Amino acid sequence: MTHSAAVLLTSFVISLGKVVEIDETAVLKAKYQRESILNRPTIWVFGLLERKTEKIAMFQVVKCDATTLLLIIQRSVALGTTIVSDGWTAYRRISKLRKSHGVINHKLNFVDPRDSSVHT
């Protein structure tokens, strides 16, 4: 976790009873040279969005693995908050943090047919 992410963590906390969407993305640094963009380092960004207030936080992370992402979630999302995510492997342990976890499988649909509040 970068220093700037650690600073943001202290000021961003989603409170109890809220719904937060989480997602990660890989960003490549684009430069206008002949060198292939695939030779550039991957920059991972992890984001959280609190649905009702649309409060967001984004963290640049060195490793986009379960340990790193769960640490951010644990520090920035209160117990009892519902987290909605896709089915990415790194998110499988969210329920062990004592947080409700709604998962949407994007291979099947973008809104859970059993619970329309589970969508990303």
pLDDT number for residue 33: 60
CATH (residue range 3-30+41-104): 3.30.420.10
Q: Which of 88, 89, 91 is nearest to 73 (CA)?
A: 91
Cα distances (angstroms) measured from residue 35 to each of 38, 43, 76: 8, 17, 39
Q: pTM (2 decimals)?
A: 0.73
Q: Which of 64, 45, 57 is nearest to 20 (CA)?
A: 57
* Domain definitions of the chain by residue range: 3-30+41-104
Would you place residue 45 in the very low, low, confident or very high pLDDT band (cuts 50, 70, 90)?
Answer: very high
- Looking at per-residue confidence, does 90 or 99 come out higher? 90
Average pLDDT, rounded, for the chain: 77
